[in-house]
């Protein structure tokens, strides 16, 4: 007697879309996996802040020389991405300017080295208490004058529904490569929002990622849920100088406004996932997204 396909499917701890009603569910996973009192690369107060707020901003992790090398690699990739890496490159709606290049941890030796740099990877391993691999990486470039917004979202909602990431045991690191002013569309974070899972309405359309990476219309929390999350907390804008590292939990609600100033905003972004939390079949009726958006085959501990 064989089990049916349905029985083999892992349990869905975080259902979303699939005609569900918008609601906030309790998080069912830790934020910090390291056992208490384990010596790690962060101070006690940093760990506490990360657990409570769902994010942490570190400055001065890199030397000026290292930062300059990252910025120059960013400029190089931005110039060649459309011709050399068309599949991995997402352009802005309207202007056609480069918005993101995916899989930069494989396309660029500079960013590959950065993704496994112990100053970053040790923190990821510590917080997730496991070996980690890069679930997704990208270079984000929000141009000046006509930079579009990134609407509010929890990354985990998409990674869970569209990629089949089972549990909340992943985190992102955004390494800023330009000044983030209050006025050029900096990352906005809602402290504590990682403790609630915002169930989104609607289905997942065919080839959703082709559109959602330009402008997301599904997997978007409702106005009511957003107001509930933000009214019970606040909005923090991650302003700061280039070279800052913003570490945030996979389920933290975040977004950014558009940018009409002349100052572009650029960062390189790594998602560290626990090796034990590898993706399975998506939790929607769609085939998995391509490898350059979600690492599925090429799992390598950094």
183 binds a copy of itself (CB under 8 A): yes
259 binds a copy of itself (CB under 8 A): yes
Nearer to a copy of itself, 85 or 181 (CB): 181
Kindly write down the DSSP assignment for every residue of the chain, as one continuous string.
-PPPHHHHSPP-SS--STTPPPEEEE--S-S--SPTT---SS-HHHHHHHHHHSEEEE---S-HHHHHHHHHHHHHHHHHHHHH-GGGEEE-TTT--EEEEE-HHHH-HHHHHHHT-HHHHHHHHHHHTS-EEEEEEEEEEE-TTTBPPEEEEEHHHHHHHTT---SS-EEEEEEE-S-B-TTS--EEE-TTGGGEEEEPPS---TTHHHHHTTS--SS---HHHHHHHHHTS--EE--B-TT-EEEEETT-EEEE--B-SS--EEEEEEEEEEGGG---S-SSSSPPPPTTTS-SS---B-
214 binds a copy of itself (CB under 8 A): no
Nearer to a copy of itself, 86 or 262 (CB): 262
Interaction mask 111-150, a copy of itself, x per CB under 8 A: ---------------------------------xx---x-
Tokens of 5: 């396909």
164 binds a copy of itself (CB under 8 A): no
- To a copy of itself, the closest distance from the beta carbon of 143 in angstroms equals 10
- To a copy of itself, the closest distance from the beta carbon of 132 in angstroms equals 30
Binding window for a copy of itself (CB under 8 A); candidates: 62-70, 94-102, 192-200, 229-237: 229-237
Q: Is there a contact between 273 and 105 (Cβ–Cβ < 8 Å)?
A: no
- To a copy of itself, the closest distance from the beta carbon of 149 in angstroms equals 5
- To a copy of itself, the closest distance from the beta carbon of 137 in angstroms equals 25
Interatomic CA distance for residues 4 and 165, integer angstroms: 22
Judged by CB under 8 A, the residue of 258, 281, 291, 299 near a copy of itself is 258
Judged by CB under 8 A, the residue of 42, 47, 106, 226 near a copy of itself is 226
Tokens of 270: 């790594």
Under rule CB under 8 A, which residues in 48-87 are in contact with a copy of itself?
Answer: none
- To a copy of itself, the closest distance from the beta carbon of 214 in angstroms equals 15
243 binds a copy of itself (CB under 8 A): no
Judged by CB under 8 A, the residue of 18, 58, 117, 181 near a copy of itself is 181
- Binding positions for a copy of itself, rule: CB under 8 A: 144-145, 149, 151-152, 181-183, 185, 188, 223, 226-227, 230-231, 235, 237, 255-262
């Amino acid at each position: 007697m064989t089990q049916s396909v349905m029985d083999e499917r892992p349990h869905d701890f975080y259902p979303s879309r699939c005609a569900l009603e918008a609601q906030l569910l309790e998080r069912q996973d830790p934020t910090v996996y390291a056992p208490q009192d384990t010596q790690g690369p962060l101070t006690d107060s940093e760990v506490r802040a990360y657990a409570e707020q769902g994010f942490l901003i570190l400055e001065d992790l890199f030397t000026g020389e290292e930062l300059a090398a990252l910025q120059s690699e960013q400029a190089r990739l931005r110039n060649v991405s459309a011709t050399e890496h068309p599949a991995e490159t997402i352009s802005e709606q309207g202007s056609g300017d480069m918005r993101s290049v995916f899989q930069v941890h494989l396309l660029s030796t500079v960013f590959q080295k950065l993704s496994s740099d112990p100053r970053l990877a040790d923190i990821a391993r510590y917080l997730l208490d496991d070996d980690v691999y890069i679930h997704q990486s990208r270079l984000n470039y929000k141009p000046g004058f006509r930079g579009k917004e990134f609407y509010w979202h929890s990354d985990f909602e998409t990674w869970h529904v569209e990629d089949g990431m089972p549990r909340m045991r992943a985190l992102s690191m955004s390494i800023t490569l330009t000044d983030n002013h209050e006025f050029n569309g900096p990352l906005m974070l809602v402290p504590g929002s990682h403790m609630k899972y915002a169930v989104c309405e609607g289905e997942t359309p065919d080839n959703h990622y082709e559109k959602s990476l330009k402008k997301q219309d599904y997997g978007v929390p409702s106005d009511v849920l957003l107001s509930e999350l933000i009214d019970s907390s606040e909005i923090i804008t991650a302003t700061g100088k280039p070279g800052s590292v913003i570490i945030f939990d996979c389920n933290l609600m975040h977004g950014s406004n558009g940018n009409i100033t002349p100052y572009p905003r650029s960062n390189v972004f790594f998602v560290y996932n626990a090796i034990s939390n590898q993706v399975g079949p998506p939790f929607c009726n769609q085939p998995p997204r391509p490898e350059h958006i979600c690492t599925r085959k090429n799992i390598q501990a950094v």
